Amino acid sequence: MPTPASGRGFLWLGLVLSSVCVALGSETQANSTTDALNILLIIVDDLRPSLGCYGDKLVRSPNIDQLASHSLLFQNAFAQQAVCAPSRVSFLTGRRPDTTRLYDFNSYWRVHAGNFSTIPQYFKENGYVTMSVGKVFHPGITSNHTDDSPYSWSFPPYHPSSEKYENTKTCRGPDGELHANLLCPVDVVDVPEGTLPDKQSTEQAVQLLEKMKTSANPFFLAVGYHKPHIPFRYPKEFQKLYPLENITLAPDSEVPDGLPPVAYNPWMDIRQREDVQALNISVPYGPIPVDFQRKIRQSYFASVSYLDTQVGHLLSALDDLQLANSTIVAFTSDHGWALGEHGEWAKYSNFDVATHVPLMFYVPGRTASLPEAGEKLFPYLDPFDSASELMEPGRQSMDLVELVSLFPTLAGLAGLQVPPRCPVPSFHVELCREGKNLLKHFRFRDLEEDPYLPGNPRELIAYSQYPRPADFPQWNSDKPSLKDIKIMGYSIRTIDYRYTVWVGFNPDEFLANFSDIHAGELYFVDSDPFQDHNMYNDSQGGDLFQLLMP
């Protein structure tokens, strides 16, 4: 049955369906092959790899785990900047933040950097009907207030009507009043419109799949889910999956002694929530009271399980519509999220907890056998069903990879010409990519062989970066505007270590000065997996970093 909010959504859908008909007839470079693979790209907001398929024993994510069981899963995938808009523009254009020149939320890359093509734009120009549901591009000026329409999409993107309530006073507190809280488990029937954004996005995505089933053109459908982004506003029944007595603290919940102040994220957006303000936590280092830390972790995990149900309904519809044998499914997140590690919360840093993301690709007939008639690859799995068994990932790669590889990899998997590597500089080049093509990982000789793909991981490097306005944490350290950026933290992650150098940065010229080193970090992963013991002062300083930069 439609939710009370569906009236507006169906009006949008009617406009969309008529636009699809126009789009189908107007593609000038239509792909004439009848066996072109569709693309379903699922992008999650703030999701770290706290999933069963990544070895998390607590989190219940059966539907994402099921997808992983039919996919190639990358164990070591990293974002290029741990904040929403810069990361999304980076991987959707296949360019690093220093090329998009977007480190904040205040510019549109086509105006301020270059007229760079995007993943959906490239598919659209190659005959695909491209559709956006939910949060794909970050809304606002960073996507020209249009989600990069009309460049990227065959018709205007859909945003759920209920997302406007996400940061309003809709959280019922212990006092019985409504608040704008961080922790916000809700009774869905009581919230405005009687629904939640991710529920609406799933409904609309399913209806688009139903329409595209009969299309002569292949489709590219991007679905962006909000949770587990804060506030943790999710159906309250998901709390039951995570009793507080089962919730542990982060294994390293103290601020490390050797952490340079410039590297610390003071989690200012968390502090602005009413329930956190009531705790009267000192700035910048806190700490948050232990019992509240457990509640934050509980709500994050509950939000992940709620998200998992939406992914499950979407993939089950793909099965029901018999599209699973003709659709590539890519699943990822824009960045991770700290849950108390290093005494930090949220993203806004170069640590693994902020940059490490899930990344998996289901390719019909390649990562899994084609489903036979009547067979379902993605039957919906209820996270509340305690009898369900953890599914092991299908194929896995331990190689370090970057989200900027998403563009060339999706193009290659779909049989399109892979965009060329970018020259340096590439501001004048509309179509190129700075990430590696991961297609070699999909060349399986035998599905029965070792599921961990071989390689030489010591040859691989993942790069990330984060800006700061000052050497010490302050009110805008997490999200400095371009004009306020004085320092850039460039970080290298290898299979052995994470190495970060914080250097002077000129925001007018977009130039980093590697002779102006403010601080450094060096963590050896094998002996220090949580990155708590900074060995930088025992190393050769910034010289090694300059040798390793791309």
Closest to 68 (Cα-Cα) out of 307, 377, 372, 299: 377
Burial of 141 (0-12, 13-18, 19+ CB in 10 A): middle
Higher pLDDT: 15 or 420? It is: 420
- Please state, in angstroms and rounded to a whole number, the distance separating the CA atoms of residues 203 and 62: 20
Task: Answer yes or no: is pLDDT of 458 > 70.
Answer: no
For the chain, the farthest-separated pair of C-alpha atoms sits apart, in whole angstroms, at 64
pLDDT of residue 91: 98
Which helix (H) or strand (E) segment holds residue 269: the answer is helix 268-271
Is pLDDT of 101 > 70? yes
Catalytic residue numbers, as ranges:
84, 138
How many whole angstroms from its chain centre is CA 58? 21
What's the pLDDT score for residue 446? 45
Res 15: pLDDT:
43
Digit-coded pLDDT (tens) for 410-435: 999 999 999 999 999 999 999 999 99
CB 550 within 8 A of CB 463: yes
pLDDT score for 388: 73
Given a cut of 50, whether residue 262 has pLDDT beyond it is: yes
Which pLDDT tens digit goes with each residue over 51-78? 999 999 999 999 999 999 999 999 999 9
First to last CA, the chain: 53
Q: Where are the domains of the chain?
A: 38-463
Q: What is the pLDDT of residue 445?
A: 53
Looking at residue 404, what is its pLDDT?
98
* Mean pLDDT to the nearest integer, 170-183: 93
Q: How many CB atoms lie within 10 A of CB 396?
A: 21
Span 18-57, pLDDT tens digits: 444 444 444 434 344 458 999 999 999 999 999 999 999 9
Q: What distance in Å separates the CA atoms of residue 287 and residue 254, rounded to the nearest whole number?
A: 8
pLDDT of residue 29: 40
Q: Is the dihedral of CA 116, 119, 121, 126 positive or negative?
A: positive
For the segment 113-162, what is each residue's pLDDT rounded down to a tens digit? 999 999 999 999 999 999 999 999 999 999 999 999 999 999 999 999 99
For residues 180-201, average pLDDT: 97
**How much is the pLDDT for 537?**
87
Please check the confidence at residue 236 and state whether its pLDDT lies above 70: yes
Q: Which two tokens stand for residue 12?
A: 């949008």
Give the Cβ contact number of residue 365 at 10 Å.
11
The 3-state DSSP class for residue 424 equals coil
CB 341 within 8 A of CB 263: no
Cβ within 8 Å of residue 416, ≥6 positions away: 122, 123, 126
Class level of CATH domain 38-463: alpha beta
The pLDDT value given to residue 455: 57
Residue with tokens 């959280």: 171
Residue type, 1: M
Return the number of other C-beta atoms located less than 10 Å from residue 153's C-beta.
26
Of 117, 43, 91, the residue nearest 314 (C-alpha): 43
Each residue's pLDDT tens digit, 328-353: 999 999 999 999 999 999 999 999 99
Query: What pLDDT, on the 0 to 100 scale, is given for residue 394?
Result: 87
Dist CA 450 CA 132 (whole Å) = 37
Count of residues for the chain?
Answer: 550
Between helix 6-26 and helix 197-212 the angle, nearest 10°, is 40
Characterise 196 by phi-psi region: left (phi > 0), alpha (psi -120 to 50), beta (else).
Answer: beta
Alpha carbons 171 and 181: distance in angstroms, whole number: 6
> Nearest 5 degrees, angle CA 209-CA 213-CA 219?
65
Look up residue 359 and give its DSSP letter: E
459 pLDDT band (50/70/90 cuts)?
A: low
pLDDT confidence bin for 543, thresholds 50/70/90: low
**148/541: higher pLDDT:** 148
Per-residue buried b or exposed e for 156-190, using 16+ beta carbons within 10 Å of the residue's own CB: bbbbbbbbebbeeebbbeeeeeebbbbbbbbeeee
Does pLDDT of 289 surpass 90?
Answer: yes
pTM of the model: 0.92
